[in-house]
Structure 1
Amino acid sequence: MTHTRSVVLLAGLALSSSVALQVIVDPLDEAKNGSPRPMAVNDVAFLTTTACHPSLYGAGVTNRICFTDFLTVKTLDGGVLNRFQVRGCPVNTEIELGYCRDGVCPTTSAYEVVIYSEPWSALSNVPYITEIVQGPSEPAPRADM
Structure 2
Amino acid sequence: MKETCEAQLDRDIFQYRMVGSCSCYEQAYQRYAACLARKYLYSIIEVIMDLLSRLLTYDSGNGEITVEVRIASPHRTAQGWSCAYQIAWPGAPRRGFGHGVDAMQAMLLAFHAIGTDIYTSDYHRSGRLRWEQAGQGYGFPVPPVIRGLLVGDDARFFG
Q: Normalising to structure 2: TM-score of the pair?
A: 0.28
* Higher relative contact order (CA closer than 8 Å, sequence separation 6+): 1
Q: Normalized per residue, which structure has more helix?
A: 2
Q: Normalized per residue, which structure has more strand?
A: 1
Q: Normalising to structure 1: TM-score of the pair?
A: 0.30
